[in-house]
């Protein structure tokens, strides 16, 4: 049995008729940009997030850029964030002329270490951008209190956490702005790129909405330099069909995560993700392999070395890479999120973060591996994943030769 890291075809089978009807309605209406379909989805999404305002845009990356611009963050400003994330988190900060300031993550949660933020604050710091990584929410009560004490804006990167919540309150409703991605593999995915910004402040919502349409508060009046960043009606129609199913999909992800944790709990050398708070939405199930299962057989660190480790001065990742390849050979396909942390990317070499500057982040990027998890993953597929994992990790001597 081949098990993919994610599969979008089954969702189409389940919702195909409703999706086709919704798309055809848009095509027949002739209203492909803006209009009632967009307005309806924005209202529905705002309600789901628990925020008064939601503004659709063309990607999660643009959502971050629009939120930063809307809050007046730009040249000369600093924004504190995590390096253990997709590149767009920092890229958006740089795109508005500000400077990302990276702090390390908590080893148990993979999230920005709240204990380290205060020491990173300077007179130039304007905002904090927490990343709800892999669907696990940051402690927004603690972060909110810290930000308020230093008069900092909070922009939530919710790209991987649609449907997640902290203390019963959805992510995207805590900070000054919440930024979401509707990339197809996300918890709520479209049929292409898409994103949204949520916020409480009506003035901020109006500002972001203008920026998303060429800085245009009304037709052919441009008060600032903006972007062409609209969520199109076809994507909004698809998302409106899917949105009511989000709670059940997130619940299924939680069930799959519980099963993984139960079935893999006794495997030595494998670090499982913590269960996390009840609001964890499990966009990814990320295990860690700090020591190669074949190490006791004397692999000598020569299993499947990764060129990235040596090239960027990162910890050796041969242990994780060995297991990834062995799983693939057994039909289980996995993904590494992320092999090179943002602060060690060539694009940010000028910031001067050398080897070991964020030691936990750098160690995690050499150890993490994401197992297949998506709502349509069948019990048989998951059983295959756990069986192969148990064979590889529990019996390395016969497989490492």
From the list 35, 98, 39, the residue with the least C-alpha distance to 71 is 98
CA distance linking residue 373 with residue 206, whole number of Å? 37
The terminus-to-terminus CA distance of the chain in angstroms comes to 24
Domains of the chain and CATH, by start: 9-244 (3.40.640.10), 246-398 (3.90.1150.10)
Quote the mean pLDDT of the chain. Answer: 93
Q: What pLDDT is attached to residue 310?
A: 64
> Quick check: 347 pLDDT over 70?
yes
Q: The pTM is what? A: 0.94
Coil, strand or helix at 399 = coil
> Quick check: 268 pLDDT over 90?
no
Q: What pLDDT is attached to residue 300?
A: 47
Q: Could you tell me what percent of the chain has a pLDDT over 90? A: 88
> Quick check: 38 pLDDT over 50?
yes
Q: What pLDDT is attached to residue 371?
A: 98
Q: What is the spatial order of strands in the sheet that 125-129 belongs to?
A: 53-57, 195-199, 177-181, 153-157, 125-129, 78-82, 99-103
Q: What pLDDT is attached to residue 199?
A: 98
Residues 6+ apart with CB under 8 A from 238: 19, 22, 23, 190, 191
Q: What pLDDT is attached to residue 333?
A: 98
Helical residues (DSSP H) of 30-138, grouped into ranges: 36-49, 60-70, 88-95, 114-120
Q: What pLDDT is attached to residue 96?
A: 98
> Quick check: 388 pLDDT over 60?
yes
Q: Kindly report the CA angle at 139 between 133 and 141, in degrees rounded to 5? A: 145
pLDDT tens column, 105-134: 999 999 999 999 999 999 999 999 999 999
* pLDDT bucket at 395, cuts 50 / 70 / 90: low
Coil, strand or helix at 394 = helix
pLDDT tens column, 127-185: 999 999 999 999 999 999 999 999 999 999 999 999 999 999 999 999 999 999 999 99
From the list 282, 287, 17, 327, the residue with the least C-alpha distance to 134 is 282
Q: What pLDDT is attached to residue 399?
A: 39
Greatest Cα-to-Cα distance within the chain, rounded to the nearest angstrom: 71
> Quick check: 270 pLDDT over 60?
yes
- Name the DSSP letter for residue 137: P
* pLDDT bucket at 389, cuts 50 / 70 / 90: very high
pLDDT tens column, 186-221: 999 999 999 999 999 999 999 999 999 999 999 999
The H or E element spanning position 393 is helix 379-394
pLDDT tens column, 17-30: 999 999 999 999 99
Average pLDDT over residues 385-401: 71
Tokens of residue 44, six digits: 């529905």
Q: What pLDDT is attached to residue 306?
A: 55
> Quick check: 64 pLDDT over 90?
yes
- Name the DSSP letter for residue 138: P
One-character DSSP codes across 236-259: HHHHHHHGGGHHHHHHHHHHHHHH
* pLDDT bucket at 397, cuts 50 / 70 / 90: very low
Tokens of residue 164, six digits: 């997640």
Q: What pLDDT is attached to residue 314?
A: 78
- Name the DSSP letter for residue 351: G
From the list 272, 356, 270, 290, the residue with the least C-alpha distance to 83 is 356
Q: Could you tell me what percent of the chain has a pLDDT over 70? A: 93
Q: What pLDDT is attached to residue 398?
A: 37
Say if residue 338 is preceded by a cis peptide, omega within 30 of 0.
yes
Taken as a whole, the chain contains a residue count of: 401
Q: Which of 35-49, 76-90, 237-251, 387-401 has the lowest mean pLDDT?
A: 387-401
> Quick check: 240 pLDDT over 80?
yes
Average pLDDT over residues 364-393: 96
**Pairing verdict, β 153-157 and 125-129:** parallel
Alpha-carbon distances, residue 307 vs 47, 54, 114, 328, 366 (angstroms):
46, 42, 32, 19, 12
The better pLDDT of the pair 13, 101 is held by 101
pLDDT tens column, 292-326: 555 554 454 445 555 566 667 777 777 889 899 99
CA distance linking residue 265 with residue 261, whole number of Å? 6
CA distance linking residue 129 with residue 188, whole number of Å? 21
- Name the DSSP letter for residue 131: B
Alpha-carbon distances, residue 209 vs 52, 197, 385 (angstroms):
14, 9, 44
Q: At what angle do helices 379-394 and 318-329 cross, to 10 degrees?
A: 130
The H or E element spanning position 229 is none
């Amino acid at each position: 049995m081949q098990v993919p890291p994610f599969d979008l075809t089954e969702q189409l089978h389940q919702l195909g008729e409703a999706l086709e009807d919704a798309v055809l309605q848009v095509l027949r209406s002739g209203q492909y940009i803006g209009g009632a379909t967009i307005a309806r989805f924005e209202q529905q999404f705002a309600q789901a997030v628990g925020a008064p305002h939601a503004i659709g845009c063309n990607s999660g990356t643009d959502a971050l850029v629009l939120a930063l611009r809307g809050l007046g963050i730009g040249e000369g400003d600093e924004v504190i964030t995590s390096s253990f994330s997709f590149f767009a988190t920092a890229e958006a900060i740089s795109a508005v002329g500000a400077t990302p300031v990276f702090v390390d993550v908590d080893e148990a949660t993979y999230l920005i270490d709240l204990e380290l933020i205060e020491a990173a604050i300077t007179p130039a710091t304007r905002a904090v951008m927490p990343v709800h990584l892999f669907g696990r929410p940051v402690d927004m009560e603690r972060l909110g209190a810290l930000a308020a004490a230093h008069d900092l804006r909070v922009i939530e990167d919710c790209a991987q956490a649609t449907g997640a919540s902290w203390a019963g309150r959805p992510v995207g409703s805590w900070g000054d702005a919440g930024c979401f991605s509707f990339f197809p593999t996300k918890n709520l995915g479209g049929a292409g790129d898409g994103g949204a910004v949520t916020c409480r402040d009506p003035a901020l919502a109006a500002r972001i909405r203008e920026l998303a349409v060429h800085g245009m508060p009304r037709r052919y009046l441009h008060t600032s330099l903006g972007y062409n960043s609209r969520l199109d009606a076809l994507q909004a129609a698809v998302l409106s069909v899917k949105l009511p199913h989000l709670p059940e999909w997130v619940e299924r992800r939680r069930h799959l995560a519980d099963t993984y944790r139960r079935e893999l709990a006794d495997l030595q050398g494998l670090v499982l993700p913590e269960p996390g708070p009840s609001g964890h939405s499990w966009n990814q199930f990320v295990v860690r392999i700090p020591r190669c299962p074949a190490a006791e057989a004397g692999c000598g660190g020569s299993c499947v070395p990764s060129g990235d480790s040596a090239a960027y001065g990162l910890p050796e990742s041969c242990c994780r890479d060995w297991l990834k390849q062995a799983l693939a050979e057994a039909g289980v396909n996995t993904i590494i999120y992320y092999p090179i942390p943002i602060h060690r990317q060539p694009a940010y070499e000028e910031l001067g973060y050398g080897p070991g500057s964020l030691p936990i982040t750098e160690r995690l990027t050499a150890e993490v591996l994401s197992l297949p998890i998506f709502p349509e993953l069948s019990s048989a597929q998951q059983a295959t994943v756990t069986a192969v994992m148990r064979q590889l990790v529990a019996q390395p001597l016969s497989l490492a030769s």
